[in-house]
Amino acid sequence: MADKFDNNEMAADLYTLVDEEGVEQVFEMIDELDADDEHYYALVPYYEEPGEGLEDDGELVILKSETDEKGEEVLASIDDDEEYERIGNMFLERLNEVFEDED
């Protein structure tokens, strides 16, 4: 997983994303993988207070790493339905394995 340890405390990898309407939302990266020479991230909405997430639908956001015109990494949505479904299923399998191991 993508958690970092600092003085025995876990620190989440947080990303502030801006949607098409200019609305910012903070997401936590829960996994990342490489497939077909591409790099992908699985993110979930991040809430500072634990109770805030209770109303969340638990949607997993899958984004692809791309390079912008300045050579910087940007996270982009996946427009191809087949690619999105294939990568999404890969993440779901990985997450299921993690939770099965915890039982």
Mean pLDDT of 35-45: 94
Alpha-helical segments (H) within the chain? 81-102
Mean pLDDT of 77-93: 95
| Contact residues for 35 (Cβ-Cβ < 8 A; gap 6+) | 86, 87, 90
Q: Which of 7-11, 27-31, 50-54, 93-97 has the lowest mean pLDDT?
A: 7-11
| In the predicted structure, residue 60 carries a pLDDT above the cut 80 | yes
Cα–Cα distance between 53 and 56 in angstroms, integer? 5
Contact of 28 with 41, CB cutoff 8 Å: no
At 47 the pLDDT is 86
